[in-house]
Amino acid sequence: MGLFNRKPKETVTITYISHGGARVEAAVPVDTSVMEGGVSNSVDGIVAECGGACLCATCHVYVDEAFLGLLDPIAADEEVMLGNTFCPRKPNSRLSCQIHVTKALDGLVVRTPEAQH
Amino acid sequence: MGAGVVIAGAGQAGFQCAFSLRTEGYDGPITLIGEEDWLPYQRPPLSKGCLSGKTDLDAIALRPAAYFQANRIALRMGRRVESINRLGLRVILDDGGEVGYEYLVLATGCRNRVLAGMEGVSYLRTREEAAALMDRLETAETVTVIGGGFIGLEVAAAAAGHGRRVTVVEPQARLMQRAVGPIISEYFRAMHARHGVRILLGTTAAGLEGDMVVAGIGVTPRTELAEAAGLAVGNGIVVNAQLRTEDERIFAIGDCAAFPSRFARGMARLESVQNAVDQGRCVAAAICGRGADYAAVPWFWTDQFEAKLQMTGLSNGFDEQVVRGDLESGKFSVCYFREGRLIAMDSLNRPGDHLAGRKLLAGSGAVTPEQAADLSFDLR
């Protein structure tokens, strides 16, 4: 059967840069989210109050432009919540809970805004 | 500096209070006491992502151990507060240890209602219970779920998604009766039926059939610690608008707290992530000298099959409802009014409505039923 047996996952390296300039380089498993990688590495600036349900907009990040084209497109619910971020939305704004980590994202760089609420 | 803040209960509310104390600049000692052995974790994935197989049980911690060390939050996991010495400003733990406090935050949560006299029934509240339920689901072919609320229906959807034959038994006349209006209840009944889930409403019979039985029949607030300390309890630990008990050094937050709410037109006790987070933050601010009345707009969500239902406000007691959008499309909101004023909205796959609803409810709710039903009217 094995409904829930999960193999150890490959990881990719994601760099989180906080507003104050602190850098966290994290090994994040594929098939998780950039938000989960941030939270599990105590990244300052990724709050994620709703835990990834796309309902709170407290995991807002600015994505390094070089990677924008590699991300899944913005879905309707993310689009709505991006209109409700505490710091201004920019063309490279995403909610990190909606960025699905794939092998192609190895080396991804995201910056967190000054505040999330 | 004083004895610091002691938080009894390390669920979403207790964790958030500790987290917000530090982001608010609180510099004193913080002790977070939780009876489960795990690092503080999120409960919603237990019945959602973990059960459907999308989320690893190992990936639900709210923060890693390093966070608590770096932020000087003393974790006392696997421990329970046994009693409160209010005069001595100390809590006594189940191992006999004592911790002094300047402020005590009760975040004791709830416990599951259980079916008296029934053995072998699975429940779902803790990580251990989720793991046990997942184990049984591996081999069960038929699953009976007792209780057609959020937890029961999320379990049913996950089990059906894994190909199990599922029956849901709900004594009330409709699903999720406490939380949503009848239009949503019927939509979800039909959706579950479409996915092969057998839904039995208005009955308690047929309870014990199936390779496994799961009960999601509600919870009761854990008030005994407060009660033994002489604090007022009713349906929850009674607090004022600032979430303080009658003892000015003791607060209560999250699922265990009964607080005055304009949305409930009286006392409310809410079981939700939103309420836990916002109350944790509210009390942290109060301890830092920036107290304010708790006034956050309630919101909730549930994921079942392809449906993402987002709810805001409290719809109990509505006298008028309008549908915004088209039921057939699976994208619509039900807007609930009382005396012409918006009091709640349930949105199915219409996240824009949900967010607009939260904002409307935070203000005056100044939208008419006619406007709400008109898709060309911008709720923002």
CATH numbers and ranges of domains, chain A: 11-111 (3.10.20.30)
Q: Which pLDDT score, from 0 to 100, does residue B116 have?
A: 87
Q: Which residues, other chains included, contact B379 with Cβ-Cβ below 8 Å and sequence gap of 6+?
A: B352, B353, B356, B357, B360, B367, B371, B372
Helix (H, G, I), strand (E, B) or coil at B121: strand
| Tally of CB atoms within 10 A around A88 | 10
The partner residue sitting opposite A39, judged by closest CB among B53, B63, B299, is B63
In angstroms, the CA B12 to CA B42 distance is 6
Please report the pLDDT score of residue B210 as a whole number.
Answer: 85
In this predicted structure, the answer to whether residue A92 has a pLDDT above a threshold of 60 is yes
The β-bridge relationship of strands B110-112 and A108-111 is unpaired
Rounded Cα distance between B291 and B115, Å, is 41
Looking at residue B108, its pLDDT comes to: 98
Maximal CA-CA distance, chain B: 64
Q: How far out from the chain centre does Cα B60 lie?
A: 16
pLDDT > 80? residue B262? yes
Pairing between β-strand B30-34 and β-strand B73-77 as defined by DSSP bridges: parallel
Residues 6 or more apart from A5 whose CB is under 8 A from it?
A: none
Q: What Rg do the C-alpha atoms of chain A give, in angstroms?
A: 14
DSSP conformation class of B374: -
CA distance B93 to B113: 25
B84/B218 Cα distance (integer angstroms): 28
- CA distance linking residue B146 with residue A113, whole number of Å: 45
Cα–Cα dist A13/A107, whole Å: 5
- What digits encode the pLDDT tens for the residues B99-125? 999 999 999 999 999 998 888 899 999
**Residues B219/B271, Cβ–Cβ less than 8 Å:** yes
For A:67-96, CB contacts with B below 8 A are 76-77, 80-81, 83-84
d(CA B359, CA B1): 39
* CB-count exposure of residue B20 (10 Å: 0-12, 13-18, 19+): buried
Q: Could A4 and B134 be called an inter-chain contact, meaning their C-beta atoms sit closer than 8 Å?
A: yes
Backbone angles phi, psi at B220, to 5 degrees: -125, 140
Query: What residue spans define the domains of chain B?
Result: 5-111+219-287, 116-215, 306-373
Helix or strand run (H / E) with residue B185: helix B182-194
Domains B5-111+219-287 and B116-215 agree in fold = yes
Which CATH number is B306-373 given? 3.30.390.30
* Cross-chain Cβ contact A4/B59 below 8 Å: no
Check if B44 contacts A (Cβ < 8 Å). Answer: yes
Q: Tell me which of B58, B67, B137 to substitute to probe the interface with A (most A C-beta atoms closer than 10 Å).
A: B67
Looking at 1.10.3470.10, 3.40.50.970, 3.40.50.880, 3.50.50.60, the CATH number of the domain B5-111+219-287 comes to: 3.50.50.60
pLDDT value at B366 more than 70: yes
What is the predicted pLDDT for the residue at B205?
66
Per-residue pLDDT reduced to its tens digit, B20-51: 999 999 999 999 999 999 999 999 999 999 99
What secondary structure letter does DSSP report for B342?
E
Partner-chain residue, chosen from A1, A4, A42, that has the shortest CB–CB distance to B64: A42
Q: What number of C-beta contacts closer than 8 Å exist between A and B?
A: 59
End-to-end CA distance of chain A: 44
CA B69-A55-A100 angle, to 5 degrees, is 75
Output phi, psi for B186, to 5 deg.
-70, -40
The one-letter amino acid code at B281 reads: R
Rg (CA), chain B: 21
* Distance between CA atoms of residues B302 and B323, nearest Å: 19
Question: Residue A64: which H helix or E strand, with range?
Answer: none
Q: Which residue has the tokens 């007691």?
A: B317
Let me know: does B310 contact B357? Beta carbons within 8 Å: no
Q: Hey, are the CB atoms on B67 and A36 less than 8 Å from each other? A: no
Q: What is the ipTM of this complex?
A: 0.93
Q: Residue B59 and residue A36: Cβ atoms within 8 Å? A: yes
- Residue of A1, A3, A54, A58 best to disrupt the B interface, most CBs of B under 10 A: A3
Q: What residues of chain B lie within 8 A of the CB of A1, using their CB?
A: 138-139
In angstroms, how far is CA B370 from the centroid of its own chain?
A: 32
pLDDT digits (tens, 9 = 90+) for B191-247: 999 999 999 999 986 556 789 999 999 999 999 999 999 999 999 999 999 999 999
CA distance A47 to A57: 9
Confidence of residue A59 (pLDDT cuts 50, 70, 90): very high
The answer to whether residue A58 scores a pLDDT higher than 80 is yes
Q: Give pairs for B356-365: CB < 8 Å, separation 24+.
A: B356/B380, B357/B312, B357/B313, B357/B333, B358/B297, B358/B299, B358/B312, B361/B263, B361/B297, B361/B312, B361/B313, B362/B297, B365/B341
Residues of A in contact with B354 (CB under 8 A): 55, 80
Q: Which two tokens stand for residue A97?
A: 């809970």
How much is the pLDDT for A9? 80
For residue B172, give the nearest of B204, B130, B124 by alpha carbon. Answer: B204
Q: What is the mean pLDDT of chain B?
A: 96
CA–CA distance, A33 with A23 (Å, rounded to integer): 18
Q: For B55-111, how does the pLDDT look when each residue is reduced to its tens digit (9 = 90+)?
A: 899 899 999 999 999 999 999 999 999 999 999 999 999 999 999 999 999 999 999
- Tell me whether residues A55 and B16 touch, CB distance under 8 A: no
Contact between B144 and B204 under an 8 Å Cβ cutoff? The reply is no
| Nearest residue of chain B to residue A45 (CA atoms) | B23
* CATH domain B116-215 topology: FAD/NAD(P)-binding domain (3.50.50)
Which among B59, B299, B351 is the nearest to A32, CB-wise? B59
B63 has a chain A CB within 8 A of its CB = yes
The distance of B230 to chain A (nearest Cα, Å) reads 33
Among the listed residues B61, B195, B67, B174, the one whose alpha carbon sits nearest the alpha carbon of residue A52: B61
User: Per the CB < 8 Å rule, is A51 touching B59?
Assistant: no
Check pLDDT > 70 for residue A1.
no
Q: From the centroid of its chain, how far is CA B236?
A: 14
CB atoms A55 and B301 under 8 Å: yes
Give residue-wise pLDDT tens across range B149-194: 999 999 999 999 999 999 999 999 999 999 999 999 999 999 999 9
For residue A2, give how far its alpha carbon lies from the nearest alpha carbon of chain B (Å).
7
**Is B287 a residue whose pLDDT tops 90?**
yes
CA angle, corner B42, sides to B39 and B46, nearest 5? 115
As to burial, measured by CB atoms within 10 angstroms (0-12 exposed, 13-18 middle, 19+ buried), residue B71 is middle
